[in-house]
Structure formats: structure tokens, C-alpha cells
């Protein structure tokens, strides 16, 4: 890994252990507790972000939404959550938001080291490369960067409505302005490109007064794995 890592955890002792583990694994470009402005800068400047370790303490916690945003903005980023609550459902919150693994309390550095090592190995193979080339839908579309980011959000929530406010928070970290029509423009262009390439297999529906929904024809959607498959090209 050659990019940055970010560690967000209010517990100083635990955070120091995590940073030490990252350094021992050869990850030295570590940003600690960047704060709201620093977090937004990650998305505005889009530096290579390879790893995020985020402590989660509440089902409506901002870190959960941050995990979801990271999965969209940095598809190849490894996200490790720390369950700082240890309740019956807190691990599920983190996984549902998109974390690849969750460390539970009591936090043990040796266990975290093992989880980190295994996840780094799991993310490393060339066959697991995530991004434009590996995505069977996005990889066949001639999208602008803005269109690709919008489509990645919709793909990550396939089958359910994504509101404009959700899109705005995922992509820009702020509430949607009613006068802002950029999402309608992006979605319209993406919809035309999907139609040109996939001829109705995939589409984006606009749900009046609600938002957008990405739909895939059942013949090309593997419901068991949630994986989108590219139609065969004759």
C-alpha cells in the first residue's frame, strides 16, 4: 500500500496501539483524528486512501456514515471498525455500513495485528483489485468522474431509493440544496449511457419526490452474492 491511512478513535490509548500496529505493518502515512474539516478534505482532495480504522459507538454515529462514504469514494480502501460499545447489535451496525472487519472490546493489540495482517493479504491479490477496471458495469461506461461517483453510490444501494440528500452527504458531506439540480443532470446522462451499452438490462428510476433507484434485470443480478454481472457480448 502506497497511499494514506486514517485512524479515527477518541480513545487515546487504543488509538496509539492502532497506529503502532499500522507502522509495524509498514503503513507510515497515518492521519490521526483529522476532525470534520480534515475528513472533508479527504473527499475534496481525493488522495489515495488505502486504509481506515474507525471506532463506532452508536447506531446513528457519524463514523458509520463515514464508513459508508469511504466505501463509495475509495472502493479499494480497507476499512476496519472498532466496536466501542460491545452491544448485541453494534458489530452489525459496522458491517452494514460497509466495514470489512470489526474488532470487539476488550481491544487487544495482538488480535488487531492478526486481523490487520489477514485483511491486508486478502485485499492484496491482483484478482481482487477493485475500481474502474474491475467493475463490470462502470468499466464499460464512458463516465465523467462525477457521474462515476454518483453511480457508485447507487450501485452500493441497489434495489432501494437513494435520496438526493443521501447523495449529497455521500459525495460532498453536506445537505442537499433544493435548487441544486446537478444530480438530475448526472443521473440523466448515466441513464442514457446505460441504455446505449446495456439496452435495458440496467436502469436508474427516478422516484418522484424521493430520489433514485438503480434496477437490474433479474437475469443479470445474482441475488445471493449481490454481484452485478455484465451481460455476455456476442
- C-beta neighbour count of 148 within 10 angstroms: 15
Q: What is the pLDDT of residue 222?
A: 42
CA 171, 81, 14, 40: dihedral to nearest 10 degrees?
0
Query: Read out DSSP for 79-139?
Result: EEEEESS--SSHHHHHHHHT-SEEEPSSP-HHHHHHHHHHHHHHH-SGGG--STTT-TTGG
Sign of CA pseudo-dihedral 116, 118, 124, 127: negative
Element (H, E) at 156: helix 145-156
Cell triple for residue 24? Answer: 509495524
Give the three-state DSSP class for 217: coil
Q: What is the pLDDT of residue 192?
A: 94
Q: What is the pLDDT of residue 124?
A: 57
pLDDT per residue, tens digit, the chain (234 aa), is 557 899 999 999 999 999 999 988 888 889 999 988 888 888 876 667 889 999 998 766 788 889 988 988 888 889 999 999 888 888 988 998 889 999 999 999 999 998 898 888 776 543 333 343 336 778 788 988 888 888 888 887 776 788 898 888 777 777 888 888 999 999 999 999 999 988 878 889 998 888 998 887 543 444 333 445 545 443
Q: List the Cα angle 60/71/119 in 5-degree steps.
A: 105
Q: What is the pLDDT of residue 102?
A: 94
Amino acid at each position: 500500500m502506497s497511499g494514506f491511512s486514517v485512524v479515527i478513535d477518541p480513545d487515546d490509548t487504543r488509538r496509539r496501539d492502532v497506529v503502532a500496529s499500522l507502522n509495524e505493518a509498514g503503513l507510515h502515512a497515518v492521519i490521526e483524528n483529522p476532525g470534520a474539516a480534515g475528513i472533508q478534505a479527504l473527499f475534496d482532495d481525493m488522495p489515495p486512501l488505502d486504509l481506515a480504522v474507525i471506532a463506532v459507538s452508536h447506531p446513528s454515529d457519524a463514523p458509520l456514515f463515514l464508513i459508508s462514504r469511504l466505501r463509495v469514494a475509495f472502493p479499494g480502501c480497507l476499512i476496519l471498525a472498532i466496536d466501542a460499545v460491545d452491544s448485541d447489535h453494534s458489530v452489525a451496525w459496522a458491517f452494514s455500513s460497509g466495514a470489512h472487519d470489526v474488532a470487539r472490546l476488550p481491544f487487544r493489540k495482538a488480535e488487531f495485528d492478526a486481523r490487520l495482517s489477514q485483511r491486508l493479504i486478502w485485499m492484496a491479490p491482483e484478482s481482487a483489485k477493485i475500481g474502474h477496471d474491475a467493475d463490470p458495469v462502470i468499466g464499460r461506461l464512458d463516465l465523467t468522474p462525477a457521474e462515476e461517483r454518483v453511480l457508485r453510490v447507487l450501485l452500493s444501494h441497489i434495489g432501494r431509493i437513494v435520496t438526493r440528500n443521501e447523495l449529497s452527504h455521500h459525495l460532498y458531506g453536506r445537505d442537499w440544496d433544493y435548487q441544486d439540480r446537478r444530480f438530475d443532470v448526472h443521473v440523466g446522462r448515466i441513464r442514457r449511457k446505460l441504455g446505449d451499452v446495456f439496452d435495458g438490462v440496467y436502469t436508474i428510476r427516478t422516484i418522484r419526490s424521493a430520489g433514485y433507484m438503480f434496477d437490474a434485470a433479474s437475469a443479470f443480478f445474482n441475488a445471493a452474492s449481490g454481484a452485478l454481472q455484465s451481460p455476455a457480448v456476442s
